[in-house]
Amino acid sequence: MPKILTFLILLLAFAKISYSQGSWSYLGTIPSGAAINSIAVVDQNVIFVAAKGNGLYRTLNGGSTWELKNTGLAASGDLYGISATDSLNCWVGWLKSTGTPASIYRTTDGGTSWTLQWTLAGTFPDGIKMFTPDYGIAIGDPTGNGQPYQFRYTTNGGTTWNLSPTSPIAENEYGVINAFDFIDTNIIWVGSASTVANATTCKIYNTSTGINGTWLNTIVAGTGGTQGLYYQAIAFLDKNYGMAGSNGSDIVKTTDGGATWTAIAPPNGITTFAAINMYGFKDGSNIIKMSLVDTTPVYHCFKTTNLGSTWTEEVLPSQGSTNGMQHMQFVNSSLGFSGGLAGTLLKFSNPASAVQKENILPDNYTLTQNFPNPFNPTTIIKYQIPQNSYVSLKVFNSLGQEVATLVNGMINAGTHDVQFNASNLSSGVYFYVIKAGDNFFQSQKMMLLK
């Protein structure tokens, strides 16, 4: 009897561990089958996709179906960096298929129509991040050697995109798509590409004082090819710890916010490769995920929780190993999505049983207490809606001033988790307020302790 009991305990423990691991599965493809360059994941249901050939798609059901939403975008273009704050408001970088000019477009109606906000010849839209519906940054290439990077910002939702007066001056270099990360509006890192054939170094830029503050750079060693050296994958856990990967089989880490970088070994069995994308979780889990492609070519995804001292491979479905993961975005450490070549979409999630449990529709509207509480600097806010509803979820300080908009758009019925990152706020009492449906209104108090 004791042996049987021990076996059952071990079996349950193993089941619990396996359950929490999660895995990648094939979600499908966008209708055009065009290569996906970037994705913007708003929550478990709402995702925008930027692809070649004006492939702007939106899903409101977690990728089960996709709608083409490109009316108003200029003809003969490809889409790159993308960011969305809810199901209605999205910004995307556009590039004419022949290479110039580059533009930024915005929609306020979920992609039914798009408005041109900014355009410039000779640059490239590497990435966009809207922190709120009003404030955001755009990362773009310099228009030539000796010219400033197109590091731009907006304080009015993109009505104007202003060039940062402190944008770095390029020296035989340019930016790389999705090669940037941030902790908040002040702490930002941007990877770059040296255009010198067989280059052995290139720069990684950083600022801790915002896009208009002081930009520093570190010269990072690597192995360039005939087209140069690109540090095109970059991810941070917090203001100090991060990693970057290149097109030349290089992986580096930093423990001082990017002031210095140290080479680390790649995962076992991987020798010659190009790092494609990285994602760093800023929730205390210390997880960084990296997608790469070897010379076969086969795509892989690896996870580390100790800045590359050890790696765990997250096995990709056959479509992922063929078409890869060009850009990863996550709702939380248990749910994420990626886009790749041939319009391939992958989903990272816990086993189906867990997903089915969460998909049971609630009976009424509910806003629960955030967890953890008190928190520093991130916390999870959960709410339930029994039917598809327009939802507004905002955070206010003790003076009643709005400090963050977490949700603002049509949301599908179900249970939803939203992560609130208060890195840029001071300690104190805050209130989060939800408005949903015709007359549901509720608030909760939370405490930020730094």
- Return the domain boundaries, the chain: 23-353, 361-448
pLDDT in tens, 218-276: 999 999 999 999 999 999 999 999 999 999 999 999 999 999 999 999 999 999 999 99
How far is the C-alpha of 274 from the C-alpha of 292, rounded, in Å? 6
Average pLDDT of span 97-125: 96
pLDDT at residue 5 is higher than 50 = no
Specify the higher pLDDT residue, 351 or 329. Answer: 329
Supply angle C-alpha 395, 401, 402, rounded to 5. Answer: 35
Domain 361-448 has CATH 3.40.50.2000: no
Judge contact between 150 and 142, C-beta under 8 A: yes
Q: Would you list the DSSP string of 395-445?
A: EEETTS-EEEEEEEEEE-SEEEEEEEE-TTS-SEEEEEEEEETTTEEEEEE
Percentage of the chain exceeding pLDDT 70: 93
Per-residue pLDDT band at 3 (split at 50, 70, 90):
very low
pLDDT at 351: 62
Per-residue pLDDT band at 159 (split at 50, 70, 90):
very high
pLDDT at residue 279 is higher than 60 = yes
pLDDT at 363: 82
Residue (of 46, 50, 20, 22) closest to 36 by Cα position = 50
Residues in a beta bridge with 45: none
Q: Is the peptide bond before 266 cis (omega within 30 degrees of 0)?
A: no
Residue (of 316, 301, 358, 288) closest to 62 by Cα position = 358
Across the chain, mean pLDDT equals 91
Per-residue pLDDT band at 305 (split at 50, 70, 90):
very high
Specify the higher pLDDT residue, 60 or 14. Answer: 60
Return the CATH fold of 23-353: Methylamine Dehydrogenase; Chain H (2.130.10)
Residue carrying structure tokens 């179900």: 414
Q: Is the peptide bond before 297 cis (omega within 30 degrees of 0)?
A: yes
pLDDT at residue 298 is higher than 80 = yes
Helix (H, G, I), strand (E, B) or coil at 375: strand
pTM: 0.77
Average pLDDT of span 159-168: 98
pLDDT at residue 306 is higher than 60 = yes
Average pLDDT of span 53-71: 96
Q: Is the peptide bond before 142 cis (omega within 30 degrees of 0)?
A: no
pLDDT at residue 324 is higher than 80 = yes
Structure tokens at 161: 């995109």
pLDDT at residue 304 is higher than 80 = yes
Of the given ranges (98-102, 290-294, 356-360, 371-375), which has the lowest mean pLDDT? 356-360
Residues in a beta bridge with 67: 58
SS3 percent helix, strand, coil of the chain, rounded to 5, is 10, 50, 45
Cβ-based neighbour number of residue 334 at 10 Å: 16
pLDDT in tens, 9-46: 333 333 333 334 689 999 999 999 999 999 999 999 99
Helix (H, G, I), strand (E, B) or coil at 9: helix
